[in-house]
């Protein structure tokens, strides 16, 4: 049975809203946690401004454990934890929880990689001027890495759109859910086409925003 | 001003210990430009970083203005560092900040009020000759301009000491000369004590008052630049001096000289006052001997002249001997031996 497009549009709009909510909320929470972890990972490295082998190893191992797990498996595997924290495993809010965890660790790695590319001499110069470690983090590390960092976050948000679709197939709602239910299970090509087009537009838009912002920050 | 007392620094790389600095004792006086020269890996970079405690010594003490900096807490150390400006080979400017922003950074750290910061930044930009580059970003500047910003930034908090980590090594010869001139101005006009490290002898030659030569973590020779240049004791020091002023023609030329029947060659070294008189001409004329300058140069070092000439004498053998004896009382003289060069 094909859908009736005159009544189905509101459903599409609603699903698009759900997808956007999942992606944006995850990006916000994931960035807060991920940037903190990434900074922590960087400054606790050997010979860095707050060297701490234990903390570095713990963070490093955690990231290495979580990142290789395929998202769909991870989401199902931690569903009990999700229920404990969110109260349910179904719906948009429930999807945001596992998405945030995965995004946090991915962003942590992206942040760390961008920070590593900062010339250590620049940090040394700030130290030589008498800057404290915290001061260096906020006035040197973040501003110096901001351009590439935004590109990294853009890359993460594009994969979050992908994650949100995966989450949709296992009860998360959003465009993924629509595409699976109507497009895949009911063989309605038109629904599939519309959701795919919306997803493409979203990715393009995210990439455009990221590129523009980072270009503005890097000036050239 | 700066005093190293039996300072050592050992890094452990895995199972291996690297002795970067070994038992160094040095004393740098107020108002001096003190140069430390050494090949790469000699430990000079580590030694320099011990001054502002970017590296902590394994043993020994470092006094800066009579304060033992190795005993300072992190917080006191950060305050002390404002009194020691530092510039770098690769400038290490903050790319996310404008020229003015770079210079303002140490002032912000020191808690200087904004109005004063703006005034000070303008002053410094004028001092280093970059008044029109205030709003530029570092990537829009040439190497020499970047180092000028580096110097302005290092001087922002009006330090008593400036330490320079191979500050001209990434620059072309003309720009190097400009930056060295600027450093001299910093020393003369602002009375700032400068400690620099370099592997280029001409840097020492152009601006330093005192020099220390480092090898394998040790200071093998140190003293006044003029004396060290004109009378080097250590082989490494001689090598550095030859890098800026070769005191002999090439082996090929010497060989040709000898095979074409040229006579014995003598090295005549003039220092200071001896360069004012026509010594060679007067003495050879008196004994009726001719002289031929085969090779050599007279150079200026710390505003004194220093000549190194390779000379041959022709005339009656005993007359030549008399010339040599008499020259020897006024200048340094030695025969250039067969396989030298």
3-state secondary structure B22-51: EEEEEEECCCCEEEEECCCCCCHHHHHHHH
Residue extents of the structural domains in chain A:
8-218
- Give Cβ neighbours of residue B236 (< 8 Å, ≥ 6 apart): B38, B39, B213, B215, B220, B221
User: Does B340 fall in a domain?
Assistant: no
In this structure, the answer to whether residues B168 and B301 fall within a common structural domain is: no
Q: How many CB atoms lie within 10 A of CB B21?
A: 29
B78 with A219: Cβ contact below 8 A: no
30-69 in chain B: CB under 8 A from chain A: 52, 54
How confident is the model over B262-270, as a mean pLDDT?
85
Question: Where do we find the tokens 């630049």?
Answer: B225
Confidence class for position B294, pLDDT limits 50, 70, 90: confident
Length of chain A: 220
**What distance in Å separates the CA atoms of residue B205 and residue B244, rounded to the nearest whole number?**
9
- Give Cβ neighbours of residue B3 (< 8 Å, ≥ 6 apart): B26, B27, B28, B62, B63, B64
What pLDDT, on a 0 to 100 scale, did the predictor assign at position A26?
95
- Give Cβ neighbours of residue B331 (< 8 Å, ≥ 6 apart): B268, B269, B270, B271, B274, B279
In this structure, the answer to whether residues B203 and B125 fall within a common structural domain is: yes
In this structure, the answer to whether residues B26 and B138 fall within a common structural domain is: yes
Report chain A residues whose CB lies below 8 A from the CB of B166. Answer: none
**Backbone conformation region of residue B111, classed left if phi is above 0, alpha if psi is from -120 to 50, else beta:** left
We report the CATH number of the domain holding residue B259 as 3.30.70.260
Report chain A residues whose CB lies below 8 A from the CB of B141. Answer: none
In this structure, the answer to whether residues B7 and B110 fall within a common structural domain is: yes
The answer to whether the CB of B211 falls within 8 A of the CB of B223 is yes
From the centroid of its chain, how far is CA B42? 15
Here the ipTM equals 0.84
Length of chain B: 341
Topology, domain A8-218: MetI-like fold (1.10.3720)
The continuous run of DSSP H or E covering B165 comes out as strand B161-165
User: Does B341 fall in a domain?
Assistant: no
Q: Is B82 on the interface with A (CB under 8 A)?
A: yes
Residue A200: exposed, middle, or buried by beta-carbon count in 10 A (0-12, 13-18, 19+)? Answer: exposed
Q: Exposed e or buried b for every residue in B218-230, given b needs 16+ CB within 10 A?
A: bbbbbeebbebbb
With residues binned 3-state (H G I as helix, E B as strand, rest as coil), the percentages for chain B, rounded to 5, are: 40, 30, 30
| Closest chain A C-alpha to B99 CA, distance in angstroms | 14
User: Does B21 fall in a domain?
Assistant: yes
By C-alpha distance, which of A23, A18, A27 is closest to A177? A18
In this structure, the answer to whether residues B173 and B32 fall within a common structural domain is: yes
Give the closest of B77, B96, B106 to A143, CB-based: B96
Maximum Cα–Cα distance for chain A, whole Å? 72
What pLDDT, on a 0 to 100 scale, did the predictor assign at position B340?
56
The answer to whether the CB of B61 falls within 8 A of the CB of B68 is yes
Q: What whole-number percentage of chain B has pLDDT above 90? A: 58
The answer to whether the CB of B31 falls within 8 A of the CB of B191 is yes
pLDDT in tens, B151-168: 999 999 999 999 999 999
In this structure, the answer to whether residues B170 and B262 fall within a common structural domain is: no
Question: Where do we find the tokens 């980072």?
Answer: A214
Please state the domain count of chain B.
2
| Closest chain B C-alpha to A129 CA, distance in angstroms | 6
In this structure, the answer to whether residues B289 and B223 fall within a common structural domain is: no
In this structure, the answer to whether residues B229 and B262 fall within a common structural domain is: no
By C-alpha distance, which of A154, A156, A151, A131 is closest to A141? A131
Final residue of a structural domain among B244, B266, B298: B244
Final residue of a structural domain among B225, B244, B263: B244
Chain B residue with CA closest to A136: the answer is B109
What pLDDT, on a 0 to 100 scale, did the predictor assign at position B253?
82
Helices of type H across chain B:
44-51, 74-81, 99-109, 114-127, 143-155, 173-190, 201-207, 225-230, 235-244, 251-259, 279-286, 317-330
| Closest chain B C-alpha to A31 CA, distance in angstroms | 21
B105 with A126: Cβ contact below 8 A: yes
Q: How many CA atoms lie within 13 A of B95 on its CB side?
A: 19
The answer to whether the CB of B160 falls within 8 A of the CB of B81 is no
| Closest chain B C-alpha to A23 CA, distance in angstroms | 29
Residue with the bigger pLDDT between B154 and A190: it is B154
What pLDDT, on a 0 to 100 scale, did the predictor assign at position B341?
47
In this structure, the answer to whether residues B227 and B259 fall within a common structural domain is: no
User: Does B181 fall in a domain?
Assistant: yes
The answer to whether the CB of B110 falls within 8 A of the CB of B116 is no
pLDDT in tens, B115-162: 999 999 999 999 999 999 999 999 999 999 999 999 999 999 999 999
Report chain B residues whose CB lies below 8 A from the CB of A119. Answer: 90, 92
A125 with B96: Cβ contact below 8 A: no
The answer to whether the CB of B334 falls within 8 A of the CB of B267 is yes
What pLDDT, on a 0 to 100 scale, did the predictor assign at position B38?
92
What pLDDT, on a 0 to 100 scale, did the predictor assign at position B16?
86
Final residue of a structural domain among B196, B220, B244: B244
pLDDT in tens, A41-97: 999 998 899 999 999 999 999 899 988 899 989 998 999 999 999 888 888 889 999
Given a cut of 50, whether residue B240 has pLDDT beyond it is yes
Chain A residue with CA closest to B96: the answer is A144
Confidence class for position B223, pLDDT limits 50, 70, 90: very high
Rg of chain A (C-alpha set): 20
In this structure, the answer to whether residues B17 and B136 fall within a common structural domain is: yes
The answer to whether the CB of A125 falls within 8 A of the CB of B86 is yes
Q: Is B1 on the interface with A (CB under 8 A)?
A: no
- Mean pLDDT is lowest, of A106-110, A140-144, B58-62, B247-251, for B247-251
Tell me the pLDDT of chain A averaged across its residues: 90
Confidence class for position A154, pLDDT limits 50, 70, 90: very high
Report chain B residues whose CB lies below 8 A from the CB of A220. Answer: 139
Structural domain span for residue B93: 2-244
**What distance in Å separates the CA atoms of residue B135 and residue A147, rounded to the nearest whole number?**
19
In this structure, the answer to whether residues B163 and B239 fall within a common structural domain is: yes
Tell me the pLDDT of chain B averaged across its residues: 90
**What distance in Å separates the CA atoms of residue B105 and residue B316, rounded to the nearest whole number?**
74
Question: Where do we find the tokens 């925003």?
Answer: A209
User: Does B168 fall in a domain?
Assistant: yes
| Closest chain A C-alpha to B53 CA, distance in angstroms | 8
Residue with the bigger pLDDT between A63 and A185: it is A63
What pLDDT, on a 0 to 100 scale, did the predictor assign at position B70?
86
In this structure, the answer to whether residues B228 and B258 fall within a common structural domain is: no
**What distance in Å separates the CA atoms of residue A63 and residue A100, rounded to the nearest whole number?**
13
The answer to whether the CB of B205 falls within 8 A of the CB of B240 is no
**What distance in Å separates the CA atoms of residue B226 and residue B205, rounded to the nearest whole number?**
9
What pLDDT, on a 0 to 100 scale, did the predictor assign at position B333?
85
Rg of chain B (C-alpha set): 24
Quick one: tokens of B195? Answer: 């400690």
Measured at the CA of A87, the angle between CA A82 and CA A93, to 5 degrees, comes to 70
């Amino acid at each position: 049975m094909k859908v009736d497009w005159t009544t189905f549009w509101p459903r599409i709009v609603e699903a698009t809203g759900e997808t956007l909510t999942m992606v944006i909320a995850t990006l916000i929470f994931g960035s807060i946690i991920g940037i903190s972890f990434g900074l922590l990972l960087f400054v606790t490295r050997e010979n860095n401004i707050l060297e701490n082998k234990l903390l570095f190893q713990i963070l490093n191992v955690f990231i290495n454990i979580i990142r290789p797990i395929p998202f769909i498996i991870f989401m199902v595997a931690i569903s009990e934890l999700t229920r404990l924290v969110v109260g349910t495993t179904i719906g948009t809010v429930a999807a945001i929880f596992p998405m945030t965890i995965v995004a946090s660790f991915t962003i942590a790695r992206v942040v760390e990689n961008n920070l590593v590319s900062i010339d250590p001499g620049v940090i040394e110069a700030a130290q030589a001027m008498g800057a404290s470690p915290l001061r260096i983090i906020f006035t040197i590390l973040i501003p110096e890495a901001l351009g590439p960092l935004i590109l990294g976050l853009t890359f993460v948000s594009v994969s979050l759109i992908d994650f949100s679709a995966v989450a949709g197939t296992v009860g998360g709602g959003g465009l993924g859910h629509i595409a699976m239910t109507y497009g895949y299970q009911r063989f309605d090509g038109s629904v599939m086409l519309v959701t795919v087009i919306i997803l493409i537009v979203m990715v393009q838009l995210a990439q455009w925003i990221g590129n523009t912002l980072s270009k503005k920050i890097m000036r050239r | 001003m700066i005093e190293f007392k039996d300072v050592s620094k050992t890094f452990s790389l895995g199972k291996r210990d690297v002795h970067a600095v070994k038992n160094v004792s040095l004393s740098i006086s107020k108002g001096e430009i003190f140069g430390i020269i050494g090949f790469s890996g000699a430990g000079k970079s580590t030694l320099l970083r011990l001054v502002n405690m970017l590296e902590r010594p394994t043993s020994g003490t470092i006094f800066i203005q009579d304060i033992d900096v190795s005993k300072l807490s992190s917080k006191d150390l950060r305050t002390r560092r404002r009194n020691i400006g530092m510039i770098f080979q690769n400038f290490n400017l903050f790319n996310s900040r404008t020229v003015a922003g770079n210079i303002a950074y140490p002032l912000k750290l020191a808690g200087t009020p904004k109005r004063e910061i703006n005034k000070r930044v303008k002053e410094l930009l004028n001092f280093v000759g970059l008044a029109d580059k205030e709003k530029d970003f570092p990537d829009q500047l040439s190497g020499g301009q970047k180092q000028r910003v580096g110097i302005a930034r290092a001087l922002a908090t009006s330090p008593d000491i400036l330490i320079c980590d191979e500050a001209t090594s990434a620059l072309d010869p003309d720009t190097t000369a400009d930056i060295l001139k600027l450093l001299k101005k910093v020393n003369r006009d602002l009375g700032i004590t400068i400690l620099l490290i370099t592997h280029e002898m001409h840097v020492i030659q152009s601006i330093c008052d005192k020099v220390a030569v480092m090898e394998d973590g040790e200071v093998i020779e140190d003293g006044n630049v003029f004396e060290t240049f004109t009378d080097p004791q250590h082989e490494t020091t001689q090598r550095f001096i030859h890098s800026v002023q070769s005191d002999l023609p090439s082996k090929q030329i010497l060989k040709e000289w000898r095979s074409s029947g040229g006579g014995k060659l003598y090295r005549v070294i003039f220092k200071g006052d001896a360069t004012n008189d026509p010594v060679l001409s007067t003495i050879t004329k008196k004994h009726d001997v001719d002289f031929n300058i085969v090779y050599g140069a007279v150079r200026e070092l710390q505003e004194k002249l220093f000549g190194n000439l390779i000379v041959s004498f022709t005339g009656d053998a005993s007359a030549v001997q008399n010339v040599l004896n008499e020259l020897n009382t006024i200048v340094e003289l030695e025969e250039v031996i067969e396989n030298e060069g």
